Amino acid sequence: MNAARPDGDDPDLARVHTTGAAGRSPSTDPRTTGAEAQVHLESAYRACRAIAAEHGRTYFLATRLLSTPRRPAVHALYAFARMVDDIVDHADPSLGRTGLPDSASPESLLTLEHSPANELDLIEKQLRTAFEQGGFAPWDAPGAPIPLLRAQVLSALADTVDRYAIDPEHFWTFLDSMRMDVPGTPQFRDRYATMAELREYMRGSAAAIGLQLLPVLGTVGPRAEAEPAAAALGEAFQLTNFLRDVAEDLDRGRVYLPADHLAAFGVDADLLADCRRTGHTDPRVRRALAHLIAINRDVYRTADPGIELLHPRVRPAIRAASALYAEILYRIEQSGYAIFQNRATVPRGRRLLVATTQLLAGTRP
C-alpha cells in the first residue's frame, strides 16, 4: 500500500496543518526519533486516505461527494475502524477463554503481549492519552514502539476528534464491541441468539460509527435530533455487510445472523457450514436470507428521513452511500442468494452512476 505517497497538491489536505499533535512539530521535538519524526498531520491524513481508497470502495466514492474540508476527517475515522477491524480479523479462533491456544506451549506465552486483545487494550490506552492531551504524540503514548502507519492513523484521528468535538465515548463503545470478536476476552461471542443480542454488538460496531461521523457531516438543527437516524444508518450498513459476508465470517468461525430468526426457517450454524462447504445455498437458507434482507431494508427506511437533518452539502454523499449499500441486497437476491459462491458487489459503472446522480441532484435549487 502506498499509504504515504507524496502528493502535495491533494486538495483534500489543503486545510490540514502539518504540525504534530498538541501543536509540536515532530521534526523538531527533541524526543522524536526514527519513525516518530515522520508523523506530520498531512502525511497522517494522506495515509488514512490511501486506506479508505484501497479498502472501502463504496465508502471512498461517496466521500468524494463531500466538501473538501470534510474528506480527511472521514478518511481518518474510516482508517481507524479499518485498522481495528484488521486486528480483530487476525484473532485466532482456536484461542480459549484464557486468550491462549488450547495447546499453548511456553513459546506461545512470549507472544501473548501481541495478541489481538492486548492490541485493542493498547490502542485504547494510546487513544485515551491522545484525547487527554488534545492530540496524539507517539513519543508520549503508552507502549512502544508504535508502527508508523498506526501512529499516522491515531494522529489523524486525534486531530479529527479535537477539530470536530467528537464525543470520545463513541470510540470506547466501538472498541468494546470489537472485543466481542476476540477469543479470550470476557466479551467474546461468535454466535448471537437473538436480534437484540446482535443489535447490542452493532451498537458499538455500527451505530457508534454513525455517531462519530455526525459532527463531521454537520446538521441543520440540534445534533441530538439527528443521532437516532445516524445510528440506524450505521446499523443498516452493518447488517448488509453481515448478509454479504456470511461465507467469510464462517471461515473465521463466526455467525452474525440471529439464531432465532434462522431457526424459524429451519436453519442453524451446521446448515450454514454445510452450505459453505458445498457452495450451494439450501432453500431454507434462501428463505431466511430473504427474511433478513426485508428486515435490513426496513432499517434503511428508518434511517432515510434523517438524511434531511444533515447539512445540505453532505446529503448527496450520504444518499449515495445508502443507495449503494442497499443495492448489495438487490445483488444478493439477483444471484439467487449465492452468497457461498460469490461476494455480492455493485459494479464500478453502477457506483459511478449513482454517485453522479446524487451529486447532480444535490446541485439543483
- Residue 32 grid coordinates: 522524536
pLDDT of residue 108: 34
The answer to whether 313 touches 306, Cβ cutoff 8 Å, is: no
**69-86 pLDDT, tens digit each:** 899 999 999 999 999 999
* Over residues 283-300, mean pLDDT: 98
Mean pLDDT of 356-360: 76
CB atoms within 10 A of CB 186: 8
CA 20 to chain centre: 25
**Distance between CA 318 and CA 358 in Å, rounded?**
9
Q: According to the model, what pLDDT value does residue 317 have?
A: 86
**CB–CB of 197/225 below 8 Å?**
no
Q: How confident is the model at residue 54, as a pLDDT? A: 86
Rg, C-alpha atoms of the chain: 21
pLDDT above 70: residue 192: yes
Distances (CA, A) of 124 to 67, 120, 134, 170, 189: 30, 6, 15, 12, 20
**pLDDT for res 364:** 52
Determine the pLDDT at residue 36: 45
- Which three cell numbers mark 331? 445483488
All residues at 6 or more sequence positions from 204 whose CB lies less than 8 Å from its CB, including other chains: 173, 174, 175, 176, 177, 178, 180
Residues 184 and 95 sit within 8 Å (Cβ to Cβ): yes
CA distance 67 to 216: 11
AA letter at 47:
A
Q: Each residue of 100-157: pLDDT tens digit?
A: 333 333 333 333 346 899 999 999 999 998 888 866 766 666 665 778 888 899 999 9
Is 120:177 a contact under the CB 8 Å cutoff?
no
pTM, two decimals, is: 0.80
DSSP characters over 234-273: HHHHHHHHHHHTHHHHHHTT---S-HHHHHTTT--HHHHH
- The pLDDT mean for the chain works out to 82
**CA distances to 75, 120, 172, 185 from 51, in Å:** 8, 19, 22, 28
Give CA–CA dist 262/100, Å, rounded: 32
Question: Are the CB atoms for 118 and 143 separated by under 8 Å?
Answer: no
Q: What's the pLDDT at 91?
A: 61
Contact 126, 142 (CB under 8 A): yes
Q: What DSSP string describes 312-348? A: GGGHHHHHHHHHHHHHHHHHHHHTTS-TTT------H
Which residues partner with 95 through β-bridges? 101
SS3 call for 7: coil
Average pLDDT over residues 51-74: 82
pLDDT of residue 44 exceeding 80: yes
Write down the pLDDT at residue 8: 35
**Cβ atoms within 10 A of the Cβ of 129, count?**
18
Q: Cell numbers for 357, please give them.
A: 446522480
